[in-house]
Structure 1
Amino acid sequence: MASKVTFEADKKDNQIPHDTWLTQQVNAALDRMENGLSVFVPNEEANAQMADFKAEIRAKSKLL
């Protein structure tokens, strides 16, 4: 979720070009991986999480 917060903060500033922002995000992810702070999720679990996320979004849009 931290990436979403970072993206929204950068989006508000809108002074950082997208390629610079993307480079910063990739570098931050690689730093977390090198420092052992990353959590890797098996493909099956990632697919299940994405399916749940999509179902939640679709349910919200039906309420509108």
Structure 2
Amino acid sequence: MDRITPVLTWRKSSQSAQQDNCVETAELPDGGHAVRDSKDPNGPVLRFAGAEWQAFIGGIKNGSFEI
């Protein structure tokens, strides 16, 4: 895996406040998104294509992931 983390601008949700159990996201140059554990910024990074990310966000908005 190449190290893309240093060149990206990472964001943590404003809903997470000062909690430690968070993920961070960064927009990729191709329109996709990267996701990492905020506690391990040098750890693994998951990458999602633009269409995958939009499907995920759509699922959140329509309640597909409600418990």
Same fold (TM over 0.5): no
Scaled by the length of structure 2, the TM-score of the pair is 0.35
The structure richer in helix per residue is: 1
